[in-house]
A and B are shown apart, each in its own frame.
Chain A
């Protein structure tokens, strides 16, 4: 296991022990909800893993590079950002997908655009956001998030 994975597991273990000391009942509840989160994520997890496998098996690196690579220009970034805004994937599963895209030749900008719009913008939850917080607030928050995501991903492409 990598050092990162080891520390994440150590942190979880420490948190679990602390929680046990604090309240056994609540800890059991927490483990149950973790299990339920896992089950609800499982179909999407399988989809993502299969997609990554297919990406490596079937998509030629040059093709991916020419559309999403460093030299491909802003169209690929824009398309990825829009796709990220429309999709509704748990963020946890989006990171491996983004990593696989980079490994396969996509630019850092593309991966960052995808992740940032995916998490910041919720098209699925937009109607509810409008209802609770008003049209102006919700549309501005999501619209500005899209612009912010493009700038963030551009900056990340420059610095990473």
Chain B
């Protein structure tokens, strides 16, 4: 199934990339065309996320976990006096995660489906001044997709004349300020840690936006393919 999927998406790309050995390059390709992927993959398989799930990448994902599990088993049997600390920690952290992760993932899934990319693109850059910054920031916190999905959106808007500062704010908010993430941070690190880190991050993201705008405002010349 994986192979078929790969062939499918390769139709409009280089024809010589249908082997598993090329999976990694394919994963890169997918990143560039997330929108295309979504439509072409829906009928190809049940996987709708552009993730590059070739056999190789599945092994690449699972192997480290398996190796670490085996290593832990060996270490624990060699040093039995560490077993108590290990099991009690693993139990408490696992149950902690189980108590919130399903809820957090459901919220992320809902946001992924109900907040469309079109919605973000439409509103991003619709305001100017301080309001524009606030909008860019808020829009960045909404999506749950990976950061690379935000680059083309930001680039397209920048080409249309959106402020560099707003794009920095949008990307940074997308990268590190997410409502579901803040909830997990709240649970594991406490209100004070979470809220202060959030406030400081917002302040520095704004400053960064203004600095980068100062040094990298695109001239007409370097906008070609942005």
In the assembly, what is the distance between CA of A1 and CA of B181, in Å?
19
- The answer to whether B188 and A95 have CB atoms under 8 Å apart is yes
| Chain A contacts to B: CB under 8 angstroms | 1-2, 4-5, 8-9, 11-13, 15-16, 19, 22, 26-27, 29-38, 40, 43-47, 49-58, 91-92, 95-96, 98-100, 102, 108, 111-112, 115-116, 119-120, 122, 125, 128-129, 131-134, 136-137, 140-141, 144-145, 148, 151-152, 155-156, 159-160
| Chain B contacts to A: CB under 8 angstroms | 31-32, 47-49, 51, 61-62, 64-65, 68-69, 72, 75-76, 79, 82-83, 85-90, 93-94, 96-97, 99-110, 112-114, 144, 146-148, 151-152, 154-155, 158, 164, 167-168, 171-172, 175-176, 178, 180-181, 183-189, 192-193, 196-197, 200-201, 204-205, 207-208, 211-212, 215-216, 218, 222, 226
State whether A8 and B183 are in contact (beta carbons under 8 Å apart), knowing that A15-B110, A116-B176 are contacts in the complex: yes
- The answer to whether B101 and A38 have CB atoms under 8 Å apart is yes
Nearest opposing residue in chain B for A26, CB measure: B113
Cβ 8 A contact of B189, one of A102, A122, A145, A159: A102
Nearest opposing residue in chain B for A25, CB measure: B113
Cβ 8 A contact of B47, one of A4, A16, A36, A45: A36
| In the complex, chain A residues whose CB is within 8 Å of the CB of B172 | 120, 141, 145
Looking at chain A's contact residues, is the secondary structure mostly helix, strand, loop, or mixed?
helix
Cβ 8 A contact of B187, one of A4, A38, A55: A4
Nearest opposing residue in chain A for B218, CB measure: A134
| In the complex, chain A residues whose CB is within 8 Å of the CB of B146 | 125
- The answer to whether A95 and B200 have CB atoms under 8 Å apart is no
State whether A137 and B196 are in contact (beta carbons under 8 Å apart), knowing that A37-B109, A57-B83, A120-B172 are contacts in the complex: no
In the assembly, what is the distance between CA of A141 and CA of B154, in Å?
13
- The answer to whether B155 and A27 have CB atoms under 8 Å apart is no
- The answer to whether A5 and B189 have CB atoms under 8 Å apart is no
- The answer to whether B96 and A96 have CB atoms under 8 Å apart is yes
Cβ 8 A contact of B69, one of A27, A37, A50, A155: A50
